[in-house]
Amino acid sequence: MGKVGIAVLSFAHGHVNAYCHQIRGYDDAKLVCCWDDDEGRGKNAANAFGIPFTSHLEDVLQNPEVEAVMIASETSKHTELAVAAAEAGKSILLQKPMALTLEDCDRIIEAVDRAKIKFMMAYQMRHDPMNKKIAELVHSGAIGNVGVIRRRHCIPVLFNEGFINGPSRWHIDPEKNMGMFMDDASHAADFLYWIMGCPTSVIAEIDNILTDVAPDDNGVAVYRYPNKAMSILFNSSTTWAGENTTEVYGDKGVIIQNYDDSPSTNVPRPPDAVGLKMYLQEKGDWEYFDIPLPDGHGERIAAVARPFVDYLLDDKAPTITAEDGRCCIEMILGAYRSAQQGKRVMFPL
């Protein structure tokens, strides 16, 4: 069996570099070529990965060696690139967030369904061993009925002059990316959707609190579910350090997760740091799970590549579907609407 051929459509979002580094080491996949509407950015990446660059999108989409594309453009360009790739019969890994409107999400879904190609969203939380264990424990009923779940997903980038004024500046452009809550809280929204399903309502506060360089820098959203359960999403782009990332409270026990976002993974940890533990009321004690902690958050980002290649090579369902990506965007848009209107917002929007 030959190697599956993969191309890159834009290097705007830095996560795709981690995927490329991984794919270069695989014996069942290869990087074929790349395109970018920023010629300098595209050529630099092409040289780094030893692949041809083209400034003409059709050169990639008409290349018979290319079976799939990884789209990592500015968020506002996701829809046009995903639709073009689907119409060309290329399978897709799409960087988060899926799109900036539900209408654009629907355009992507329609194009994917019409072309019958493979599609997966690039949300690394779904591939993290601790998160997969949390999903297994909750879905198996290990801690009974879940009443409240809190998830923190933070980064310190708005304190970083290089992020604000460098090539990544598009992240803080409202036309290209809406806001930092859209950009980064979508990770936590996808996690909550994965664990809890679709919410029925949200009430939120999203604002600039510590900086004024982006449309927003901190946000908290409280989602409610059909069974009255609550989830709390905390996202910040101004967090230097942290520890506790996830708490799940059930009527039979509690799950606590540590060191699972950038501020908690990329800072010093105690030598006896525990990533995941569970308390069961009937046992009256903590159970500790022996899941190794990564050396840096970049390891989690890089973990997206292998599941995508596996999905291309077999007939299993994707880890995160286009419909999952749409629900995540609806959760984020609902939170923005709640913050703007100062009231609870019901789903569907």
DSSP string covering 32-61 = EEEE-SSHHHHHHHHHHHT--EES-HHHHH
Quick one: pLDDT band at residue 335, thresholds 50, 70, 90? very high
> With contact defined as beta carbons under 8 Å apart, do 204 and 221 qualify?
yes
CATH class of the domain at 125-294+329-346: alpha beta
Query: 4-117: which CATH topology?
Result: Rossmann fold (3.40.50)
173-227 pLDDT tens trace: 999 999 999 999 999 999 999 999 999 999 999 999 999 999 999 999 999 999 9
Query: Residue 126 gets which letter from DSSP?
Result: G
What angle in degrees, to the nearest 10, is found between the helix axes of 15-23 and 39-49?
Answer: 30
DSSP 37: S
Model confidence at 316, in pLDDT bands (50, 70, 90)? Answer: confident
Instruction: Report CA dihedral (176, 218, 199, 141) to the nearest 10 degrees.
Output: 120
Predicted pLDDT of residue 317: 84
pLDDT of residue 315: 79
pLDDT at 277 over 80: yes
Read off the pLDDT band of 9 (50, 70, 90): very high
**Mean pLDDT to the nearest integer, 327-344:** 98
Confidence at residue 142, expressed as pLDDT on a 0 to 100 scale: 98
**Rounded CA separation 171/184 (Å):** 10
How high is the pLDDT of residue 184?
A: 96
Greatest Cα pair distance, the chain, in angstroms, is: 63
Q: Which pLDDT does position 123 carry in this prediction? A: 95
Decide if 296 contacts 302 (C-beta within 8 A): no
Omega of the bond prior to 268 within 30 degrees of 0, cis?
no
What is the tens place of the pLDDT at every residue in 50-79?
Answer: 999 999 999 999 999 999 999 999 999 999
For residue 232 the two structure tokens come to 């709390």
pLDDT, residue 252, reads 98
**pLDDT above 70 for 1:** no
Give the residue extent of every domain in the chain.
4-117, 125-294+329-346
Looking at the chain, the whole-number percentage of residues with pLDDT higher than 90 is: 97
Report the chain's terminal Cα–Cα distance, integer Å.
46
In whole numbers, what is the pLDDT of the chain averaged over residues? 97
